[in-house]
Structure 1
Amino acid sequence: MSSESWTPPAVLVAVDLVILTLRDSALNVLLVERGIDPFRGARALPGGFLNNAGEDIVAAARRELAEEANLDAATLHLEQLGAYGEPGRDPRGRVVSVAYLAISPGLPEPVAGTDAARAAWTPVDEALSDTARLAFDHRRILLDGVERARAKLENTSLATAFCAPTFTIAELQRVYEAVWGVALDPRNFYRKVQAVPDFIVPAGNQRTTKGRPARLFRAGSRTELTPPLTRP
Structure 2
Amino acid sequence: MTFEYSHARPALTVDCVVFGLDQRKLQVLLIQRDLPPFRGDWALPGGFVQIDETLESAARRELREETGLEQVYLEQLSTYGAVDRDPRERVVTVAWYALVRMSDHRVMAATDARDAAWYGIDDLPSLAFDHDLILQAAQKRLQNKVQYQPIGFELLPKKFSLSQLQFLYETILDRELDKRNFRKKILSLGVLQELDEYETNVAHRAARLYRFDRRQYQRMLKQGVHFEI
TM bracket (short chain): 0.7 to 0.9
So what's the TM-score if we normalise by structure 1?
Answer: 0.86
Determine the structure 1 residue equivalent to 2:82. Answer: 86
Instruction: Give 1:153 deviation, angstroms.
Output: 1.2
- Counterpart CA distance in 2 for 1:94 and 1:227 is 41
1:228 has 2:223 as partner: no
Contact 1:25 1:174 in 2 (8 A): no
Query: 1:155 is paired with a residue of what secondary structure?
Result: coil
Instruction: Give 1:204 deviation, angstroms.
Output: 3.6
Contact 1:33 1:42 in 2 (8 A): yes
1:170 has 2:167 as partner: no
Contact 2:69 2:106 in 1 (8 A): no
Determine the structure 2 residue equivalent to 1:31. Answer: 30
Contact 2:14 2:95 in 1 (8 A): yes
Query: 1:31 is paired with a residue of what secondary structure?
Result: strand
Determine the structure 2 residue equivalent to 1:180. Answer: 173
- Counterpart CA distance in 1 for 2:88 and 2:6 is 20
Q: Which amino acid aligns with 2:66?
A: E
Structure 1 runs, 4 residues or longer, greater than 6 Å off = none
Q: Which aligned pairs between 1:133-144 and structure 2 lie closer than 5 A? A: 133-144=126-137
**Counterpart among 60, 85, 90 of residue 62 in structure 1:** 60
Determine the structure 1 residue equivalent to 2:17. Answer: 18
Determine the structure 1 residue equivalent to 2:46. Answer: 47
- Counterpart CA distance in 1 for 2:171 and 2:142 is 11
Query: 1:187 is paired with a residue of what secondary structure?
Result: helix
1:99 has 2:95 as partner: yes
Query: 1:88 is paired with a residue of what secondary structure?
Result: coil
Query: 1:165 is paired with a residue of what secondary structure?
Result: coil
Contact 2:74 2:96 in 1 (8 A): yes
Could you list the per-position Cα deviations for residues 124-149 of structure 1 after superposition, in whole angstroms to 9, with x for gaps in the alignment? 1122xxxx421111001101111111
Instruction: Give 1:94 deviation, angstroms.
Output: 1.1
1:160 has 2:153 as partner: yes
Query: 1:190 is paired with a residue of what secondary structure?
Result: helix
Contact 2:31 2:116 in 1 (8 A): yes
Instruction: Give 1:217 deviation, angstroms.
Output: 1.1
164-173 or 202-211, which deviates more: 202-211
Instruction: Give 1:189 deviation, angstroms.
Output: 1.6
Query: 1:150 is paired with a residue of what secondary structure?
Result: helix
Query: 1:81 is paired with a residue of what secondary structure?
Result: strand
1:112 has 2:109 as partner: yes
Contact 2:17 2:44 in 1 (8 A): yes
Contact 1:195 1:227 in 2 (8 A): no
Instruction: Give 1:106 deviation, angstroms.
Output: 2.1
- Counterpart CA distance in 1 for 2:22 and 2:78 is 26
- Counterpart CA distance in 2 for 1:55 and 1:85 is 20
Question: Unmatched 5+ residue regions in structure 2?
Answer: none
So what's the TM-score if we normalise by structure 2?
Answer: 0.87
| RMSD, aligned α-carbons | 2.0
Contact 2:27 2:120 in 1 (8 A): yes
Query: 1:63 is paired with a residue of what secondary structure?
Result: helix
